[in-house]
A and B are shown apart, each in its own frame.
Chain A
């Protein structure tokens, strides 16, 4: 695939009073890739995402999203992105079908709620309330709401936090499917194994700066080339593989 940048972030700075959350970040996200923003808590990942998503004002810098300037075309950008927020709630007392209807109204389009729920395998929960869903179902529903406007880019902020291994793998499959359908995915995560298998490229963010952007493989090779060795000999499987093998790949809905 030709590496066409769909998001360009140039020297982004975000200051809160005397605290600098983002300190001159620059990166590009290519069309059709899964791009991971990695870094410890407070590194500025969420702030960066929310500025790109037009939810927060920047202090300085220049950002283009799918050819639109974030400063002047916020409304146009909102129409072509899908956003999943960390810990966002949904309108109370409404079931999933009604929530999808509500969101399609907010996007000003008509979609079939059933089709949207089908994309995330939640049709049997169509009449359930959001709060009645399991953790994995909640995340899948959140992702369904990001797909309503058939976006060019979706942003997922820690979508797998708190999920069990089965639900996590299930979500990976869903995210890959979204990418394979031509949508660019920008994701943040604290799980490096997840970034390794899921992301086409990752950026490490720390202290409001980007300290490296490359493919996961390239980063690992670079580290090994520098003479790094794990303390423990690496085996062909890890404990999560054991967990999945023993408990099965079937996703528990409970």
Chain B
């Protein structure tokens, strides 16, 4: 622009596009639905299904149980045990057989002498794992109750020194939310970017832009900036709802949120690269969804959005480990739950950067302006 009479401001043009694009996005129902509604629905569903995420043991309480004694009270206070009252004996029996109940208890005052309280527990083979857990709950409770407090110290042969490290309860939401956040970024990045650039191209909006002094990179940067702001607002919203409504763990509070947003930006840049490629390949708007789905669906299913990758068969795992969303999800979970720093997840970030280089190399070759 040597001969330009006045200095043209590329930043101003970029920001003007970002502002227009952001306004447009906020008014576009599909953008809002994909970025916010879908992930939130999944989070709601899994948030409620998971409850507090830990193990729940459903225990039927037989009719006529004495609810005033310490055994019953101890069970009632135990967060793992869910006592089921108000069922007939026959129903309870049937539920126990089907595994809907993990055990049935009956607590009675012992009027025949011996221990003052009789505890009768029925387990079921239909729910082996939970029955076992309940058995150990019962055993530890009983040994605690039966051991009288030591009054006079006796010489000890073994001194037991126990310590428990401070662990955090890993809740369903801690697994689900980072996955949903990753998926939100993936669909917004791929679908959003592909649709916007394709429609700007075929409705000649971009051609009209080219009749102004705007630079091509300003158009791309402006659009990317708008999508980033939009998706980060969405991400923040998802994290906040997850945290306040479902107790999503943010180990280091604000720092964790900031780290998650930085990871979101890195992931989003990769996913927008896919979007640029799709917009270049697609001939018209109706061919965007099939092509975009080829990119998003496998990642949705195989990148540990819903299930841990370690649950997949061995032959599937290498595929999972090749996908960028896998690494974003992984890094998100480490940062949010384990309190990892971005440096700790540099391996995942490095792989995302490799994807970035690959996908933008392809995008530069396939992207079409007209």
Contacts and interface: CB of A to CB of B under 8 A. Distances in A.
Q: Are A and B co-members of a single complex?
A: yes
Interface of A: 53-55, 68, 72-73, 75-76, 78-79, 81, 83, 85, 87-94, 98-99, 101-108, 145, 149
B16 A102 contact: yes
Given A75-B8, A83-B211, A102 B20 contact: yes
Interface string B202-214: 0111011111111
A104 B9 CA distance: 11
**Residue picked from B12, B25, B210, B213, most chain A C-beta under 10 Å:** B213
B198 to A, nearest CB: 12
Residue of A53, A81, A87, A93 most packed against chain B (CB within 10 A): A93
28 contacts: A75-B8, A78-B211, A78-B212, A78-B213, A79-B4, A79-B213, A85-B204, A85-B207, A85-B211, A87-B204, A88-B205, A91-B20, A91-B205, A92-B199, A92-B203, A93-B24, A93-B27, A93-B28, A94-B20, A98-B23, A99-B20, A101-B16, A101-B20, A103-B212, A106-B13, A106-B212, A108-B9, A108-B13
B24 A104 contact: no
A198 B12 CA distance: 37
B17 interface: yes
Given A76-B4, A88-B203, A92-B203, 19 more contacts: A54-B211, A55-B210, A73-B3, A75-B4, A75-B8, A78-B211, A79-B5, A79-B213, A85-B207, A85-B208, A90-B205, A91-B200, A92-B199, A102-B17, A105-B13, A105-B20, A106-B209, A107-B213, A108-B12
Contacts of A89: 203-205, 208
Interface string B1-36: 101111011001101110111011101100000000
Interface string B171-215: 000000000000000000000000000011001110111111110
Report whether over half of chain B's contact residues are helix, strand or loop; otherwise say mixed.
helix
B107 to A, nearest CB: 65
A219 B209 CA distance: 37
B208 A104 contact: no
A105 B16 contact: yes
Nearest to A92: B24
B114 to A, nearest CB: 79
B291 to A, nearest CB: 21
Contacts of B13: 105-106, 108
Contacts of A79: 4-6, 8, 213
A63 to B, nearest CB: 15
A91 B15 CA distance: 15
B8 A108 contact: yes
A31 to B, nearest CB: 17
B70 to A, nearest CB: 66
Contacts of A76: 1, 3-5
Contacts of B214: 106
A55 B24 contact: no
Contacts of B20: 91, 94, 98-99, 101-102, 105
Nearest to A142: B208
Nearest to A53: B211
Contacts of A75: 1, 4, 8, 213
Contacts of A103: 212
